[in-house]
Each structure stands twice: as C-alpha cells, then as structure tokens.
C-alpha cells in the first residue's frame, strides 16, 4: 500500500520524505489556507520535493470553472493530480480531464455507488472518507471493502482506492488489510505508526542489559 501524506506543510513534508515512506501528497483548500502562503507557491514547492502524485483541489463547482482551474493547476508541475468533488459536474470534469491525460482524484466519496460512478468516469483515484463515516455511526472501513469488492469484478476499472479521512493508526491497518491501494495520512498519524509501549520498554531493557556488560560494539 502506498502512503500519501495529507498536509500542505512543506517543512513537515520535507522531514517525512527523509523516512522513505512518502509516496505522494494530498492537499485541499483548507490545508493550503493553514499554510498562509499563495497556493501556486506551495504546490510548486511540494511538487519539487515529492516525485509522486500531489493532489491539488479545484474550488469551482460549475463544470467550466472546474475545467479551467484543473487545467491551470495541472500546468504547475507534471506530478499534479487534480482533485474534484464527487458531484455530477465533478464527474464530468473528471472524464474530460482524464481524456486530456491529467490524473484525477475524485474526493468526498461516502458510498459504493458513488465510487462506481467515479470508476466509470475514469478517475485515477477515488477518495472514500472513512473517518467522517465513523463520526456519524457508520463503519468507514466497510465502505473500502465494498469498493474494492466491486472494482475487483471489473478488470477494466483502473481507479485506485485512496483511503482518506484517516484518524488513527488502526484506520491505516484496517484499510491495508482490506487492500486499499493508497492511504492518505496526516503527519501526526504517520508518526504514531512507529509507536508501541512494548517497543519502548524492550529497547530500554536491551540497552540496560548491554550497559551492564561494559562492552562496546565498535573497537577502541
């Protein structure tokens, strides 16, 4: 499974890239706004840091506006993926941008039926928001399972399932077990994947035992 990092914080992205675990980046208008910087400047810098896909979201809701914004954003860098909402106009824009050779991430997916439409529209990625479904008493990981099951019946569907709205390390593990192609993960959650109290305790114990020997692994 690929890991995308869900942030527009360039400093954080640069740090996470050093781990070797970052395969791409997802942004949205809210994340860009938090950066306090011009959108084009932020996206260009992220694309220079990351070799994989970088999702940049349109803000228009009409078809013509989505296409204009999508084409403009796509020119910023060759690894830009245009993010459009799962609306009728969004899917029309997806189909057209895909025909033009642009990678498209269809976002705000909350049902398997919506995901089916996105695949038929030629989306590169479909982004089901599992955390938001959990918030209203549904089980977000069930949606991932349904989408993957549906897509598996139709080999001509090339859309990748990009699990979004990840709220915990458990979410990451759940969608990996189900078979999501990608998880887009907030930096905080990516850092938490390292953590387990038994790992910390084991390391302390090992080092204490080694110190008692008075030895050094490296000579002199």
- Quote the number of domains for the chain: 1
CATH number, domain of 148, equals: 3.20.20.70
User: 191: how many CB neighbours lie within 10 A of its CB?
Assistant: 15
pLDDT at 112: 98
For 116-139, the pLDDT digits (tens) are 999 999 999 999 999 999 999 999
User: Does residue 151 lie within any of the structural domains?
Assistant: yes
Spot the catalytic one: 83, 92, 99, 212.
Answer: 83
Domain of 165, in residue numbers: 2-195
User: Does residue 188 lie within any of the structural domains?
Assistant: yes
pLDDT band at 35 (very low <50, low <70, confident <90, very high): confident
- Annotated catalytic, 83? yes
User: Does residue 202 lie within any of the structural domains?
Assistant: no
User: Does residue 61 lie within any of the structural domains?
Assistant: yes
pLDDT at 162: 98
* Residue 176 to residue 144: CA distance in whole angstroms: 10
User: Does residue 136 lie within any of the structural domains?
Assistant: yes
Residue 30 has pLDDT above 80, yes or no: yes
For 66-87, the pLDDT digits (tens) are 999 999 999 999 999 999 999 9
């Amino acid at each position: 499974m690929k890991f995308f990092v869900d942030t527009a914080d360039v400093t954080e992205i640069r740090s996470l890239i050093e781990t070797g675990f970052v395969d791409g980046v997802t942004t949205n208008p809210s994340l860009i706004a938090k950066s306090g910087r011009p959108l084009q400047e932020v996206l260009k810098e992220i694309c220079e840091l990351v070799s994989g896909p970088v999702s940049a979201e349109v803000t228009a809701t009409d078809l013509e506006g989505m296409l204009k914004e999508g084409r403009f954003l796509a020119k910023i860098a060759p690894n830009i993926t245009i993010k459009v909402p799962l609306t009728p106009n969004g899917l029309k824009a997806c189909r057209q941008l895909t025909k033009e050779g642009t990678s498209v991430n269809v976002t705000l997916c909350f049902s398997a039926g919506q995901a089916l439409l996105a695949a038929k529209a030629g989306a590169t990625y479909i982004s089901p928001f599992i955390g938001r479904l959990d918030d209203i008493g549904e089980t977000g990981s069930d949606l991932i399972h349904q989408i993957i099951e549906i897509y598996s019946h139709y080999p001509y569907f090339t859309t990748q399932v990009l699990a979004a709205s990840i709220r915990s390390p458990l979410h990451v593990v759940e969608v990996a077990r189900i078979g999501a192609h990608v998880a887009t993960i907030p930096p905080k959650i990516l850092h938490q994947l390292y953590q387990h109290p038994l790992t910390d305790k084991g390391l302390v114990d090992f080092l204490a035992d080694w110190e008692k020997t008075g030895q050094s692994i490296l000579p002199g």
